[in-house]
Structure 1
Amino acid sequence: MTRFPLLRHVVIGGVVLAGLAVAPTSAEEATTAEQTVDAMNKLWGQHPGMRANHAKGTVVEGSFTPSTEAARLSKASVFAGPAVPVTGRFSDATGIPTIPDGSADANPHGLSLKFKLADGSEMDVVTNSLKYFPVATGEEFRDLLVAIAKSGKDAGTPTPAEAFVASHPAAGKAGATARTPTSLARQTYNGVNAFVLVDAAGKRQAFRYRIVPVEGEELLAAEEGAKQAPDYLMSEIRTRLGTAPVAYKVLAQLAEAGDRTDDATKPWPEERRLVDMGTLTLTKPVADSASAEKALLYLPNALTDGVEVSDDPLIDARVQAYAVSFGRRSQ
């Protein structure tokens, strides 16, 4: 029995909904982002200096080399070449810093990337192993967290979480799309939010990121994941990078007419074109990962000319909640 059995069906970790504000004096004064982080703290406890969600992780470094096709789709310098440095962070879901890597509740695993551009600016990409998100807005995500927090053993039937899932079908299905890998180097990471590529002529193309391991994806059955050592994923990726690089193809799934860009619960058809935007090559673990990750803040709207946010409301919700979490853990 896991500590959070509901999380097997209602995924919580999909967006690191994490504003640089101190907790408000009353619930009535709290913003949605503050209420979201408060709910995470109630579910998983408060762990000083740690993220409210995706608390357990490890920091790595590498580079990104763009493809020629990428430069045709976007005028962004990151896709123009040459290769740029990247700082990444792998993570487990939940705000529990000691969660076992193989636990079903550690899904979805996350991969956040910070591209260091030639002009000194940065571009962030935040992905995880879900194929789509359980809810469409920040308010719904807060409500989902609150419902789960209220669904303890003394809750009546249906529990608040069960009632929420009944009215939000994706909330009951999204979690099943993320499974435990044999290695963080053998998992596919998805950008559940839509963004927009803009080319030199001003043409706009909506897309979603998909980061695919060159070695191929390799997943474990739930019972096999539960048998692994508590830190097997975080330890293995650091050991692996100590001996050889790990490569991923960074793909863009291109939207077509009628594809929803404002709803992260709606995956696009698999037959949509996937464009190779370049290769992410991770080369080494950061020596003092614990110190490095405290200073890292990944924001989905930290973009560059040639890549823009879409009309997906979750993007801003994520930014606001990330900032709340960062502000609290930095105090």
Structure 2
Amino acid sequence: MPLPSEQATVDTGRQLLSTLQGIFGPHPGYRPAHAKGILLKGSFTPTNEAASLSAAPHFHRESTPIIARFSSSGGLPELPDTDPNGNPRGLAVRFLLEESPRRVHTDIITHSTPFFPAKDGPEALAFFRSVANGTIAEFLTTHPAALAFVQAPKPFPASFATDKYFGVNAFKLVSEEGKETFIRYRIAPRAGESYLDDDEAKTKSPAYLFDAVPGLLAHGSIEFDLEAQVADEGDVTDDCTVHWPDHRRVVKLGVISLVSVVEDNLSEQKRIIFDPVPRVNGIEPSEDPLIDVRAAVYLISGRERRAA
């Protein structure tokens, strides 16, 4: 039997899923948010500093295979890339640590803004319900974190390879010696950031981001620096809506290199369920309550997606 707190998390996850499906409509086989996506495969190469901060396996190996998913916001699988509702874009990365005798992996989930509209499950549910029932304007007057998220710049990227992505939740890296360091992930494009203004975006094709991926790969790998913004003593680690100062130290953890599109992409997207909880030695979730709620939504929707 789940504990009462665990059951409450699952119940909130189910309600969030139902609310999102109410906003975007049911699309069997697709995610209720970030429905439109593409899977790529590649590798991760860590830095020495990553190994000093965490005992996690992928920070100590020469290289680790990965699967990554670029996506657009919203629950509409056919949303045009030129629709502003597709921003922020998403990037999820799975580190494949062991294939047999059992599959072991750990994931990082990011999107292209450091803002998030809610600090926990109930507040996130209230936010999306206000979107669903048309009271969002009123909701924003009493919820400053949601207002900050809505007002935050969300420009159109020139390509997925030139967007910067942020992990909004805090995690705890634990070194081999037991030293603990709270961080938030960032994924920075090695090609540099590049964005379009609204007028430029209107001149692009409805699938300009996704159609460009094979062409980008034909000229070489798509590469990002995996970074960690390091919390200072006293920084809030259990509320994703509280940002740390920009001058906090940023550490390079390694290089993400994406080299090809995954075969049978649609079926593989239907199957893979990314997990916000690290579930690996050397990385632990913070006390941020949103992490478990997100995990519940992803698992429940993933099971529905596989059954569709």
TM-score in terms of structure 1 length: 0.86
Q: Output the CA distance in 2 between the equivalents of 1:111 and 1:303.
A: 19
Give, in whole Å, the separation in 2 of the partners of 1:222 and 1:43. 25
Moved over 3 A (4+): none
**Pair 1:211-2:194 in alignment:** no
Instruction: Verify: 1:316 aligned to 2:292, yes or no.
Output: yes
Asked if 1:143 is matched to 2:123, the reply is no
The aligned counterpart of 1:171 is 146
Distance 2:245 2:211 in 1: 35
> CA-to-partner distance for each residue in 1:224-273, whole Å, 9 max, x for gaps?
22332111101112321133101100001000012111111111111000
Specify the alignment match of 1:63 in structure 2. Answer: 43
SS at match of 1:167: coil
Q: Alignment partner of 2:240: what SS? A: coil
Deviation per CA, 1:163-197: give whole Å up to 9, x if none: 21111112122242332100000000100000000
Q: Compare 170-179 and 139-148 and name the one that shifted more.
A: 170-179
Displacement after TM superposition at 1:290 (Å): 0.7
Map of 2:97 onto structure 1: 117
Structure 1, residues 7-48: CA drift from partner, whole Å, max 9, x if none? xxxxxxxxxxxxxxxxxxxxxxx8111111111111111011
**What secondary structure, in the 3-state scheme, does the structure 1 residue paired with 2:41 have?**
strand
Structure 1 counterpart of 2:30: 50
Instruction: Say whether the 8 Å CA contact 2:117–2:127 is kept in structure 1.
Output: no
- When normalised by structure 2's length, the TM-score is 0.92
Partners in 2 of 1:139 and 1:242 — Cα distance? 45
Match of 1:92 among 72, 96, 102: 72
Distance 2:88 2:191 in 1: 20
- Mapped partners of 2:17, 2:182: distance in 1: 30
Q: Deviation at 1:307?
A: 0.5
- Once residues 118 and 39 of structure 1 are traced to their aligned partners in structure 2, the CA distance between those partners, rounded to angstroms, is 36
**Partner Cα separation in structure 2 for residue 180 and residue 220 of structure 1:** 5
Shift of 1:139: 1.1
Mapped contact 1:74–1:200 kept (Cα < 8 A): yes
SS of 1:177 mapped into structure 2: coil
Aligned: 1:231 with 2:207: yes
Instruction: Report the Cα offset of residue 60 of structure 1.
Output: 0.3
Question: Partner residue of 1:101?
Answer: 81
Equivalent residue number for residue 232 of structure 2? 256
Deviation at 1:118, TM superposition (A): 4.7
CA deviation vs aligned residue, 1:70-94 (integer Å, no higher than 9, x gap):
1111111110121000001100000
Aligned-pair Cα RMSD in Å = 1.3
Q: Which residue of 2 aligns with 1:265?
A: 241
Structure 2 residue 174 is matched with structure 1 residue 198: yes
SS at 1:330's partner residue? helix
Secondary structure of the 1:173 match is helix
Q: Deviations over 1:48-83 (max 9, x none)?
A: 111111000000000000001111111111101210
TM-superposed deviation, 1:143: 0.8
Structure 1 unaligned residues grouped into runs of 5+: 1-29, 152-159
Which of 55, 64, 72 lines up with 2:52 in the alignment? 72
List runs of 5+ in structure 2 lacking aligned partners: 1-9
Which whole-Å CA distance do the structure 2 matches of 1:302 and 1:275 have between them? 19
Structure 1 residue 302: Cα displacement: 3.6
Change (3 A) 1:288 1:118: closer
**1:181-192 matched pairs, under 5 angstroms:** 181-192=157-168
Amino acid at match of 1:168: H
Q: Which amino acid in the other structure matches residue 101 of structure 1?
A: D
Q: Percent identity?
A: 37
